[in-house]
């Protein structure tokens, strides 16, 4: 994890990010020092700039990086709306014409 480089093998970060086709949800944890929430927020903004369907949520926790383990109910409430979100193409496919 300390040597991971998102841009390795690509001309730029944007080029690497443009390969992402899935919807992405990034969750920052307010007290995380390992992956600060502001860094996660900035990544989500760069992903959107590159054309990725990315969203950001922030988990308020005093447990640092382990907040996702200790605040499971809060994390679930942040994630669950995104699990059932449908994009316009999916909604259009469900339209029935009589």
Kindly report the backbone phi and psi dihedral angles of residue 33, in degrees, each rounded to the nearest multiple of 5, phi listed first: -90, -25
pLDDT of residue 2: 79
Residue 54 and residue 90 in contact, taking contact as beta carbons nearer than 8 Å: no
Instruction: Using a cut of 0.75, tell me whether the model's pTM lies above it.
Output: yes
The helix/strand/coil state of 59 is strand
Residue 24 and residue 18 in contact, taking contact as beta carbons nearer than 8 Å: no
Spatial separation of the C-alpha atoms in residues 60 and 8, rounded to whole Å: 32
Counting as low any pLDDT under 70, the low residues of the chain are 85-98
Kindly report the backbone phi and psi dihedral angles of residue 27, in degrees, each rounded to the nearest multiple of 5, phi listed first: -120, 115
pLDDT of residue 29: 97
- In sequence order, the 6+-apart residues with CB closer than 8 A to the CB of 87 are 23, 53
């Amino acid at each position: 994890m300390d040597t991971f480089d998102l841009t390795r093998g690509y001309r730029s970060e944007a080029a690497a990010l443009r390969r992402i086709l899935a919807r992405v949800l990034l969750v920052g944890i307010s007290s995380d020092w390992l992956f600060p929430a502001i860094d996660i927020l900035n990544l989500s903004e760069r992903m959107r700039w590159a054309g990725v369907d990315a969203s950001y949520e922030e988990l308020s926790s005093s447990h640092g990086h382990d907040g996702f383990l200790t605040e499971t109910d809060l994390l679930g409430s942040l994630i669950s709306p995104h699990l059932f979100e449908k994009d316009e193409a999916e909604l259009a496919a469900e339209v029935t014409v009589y």
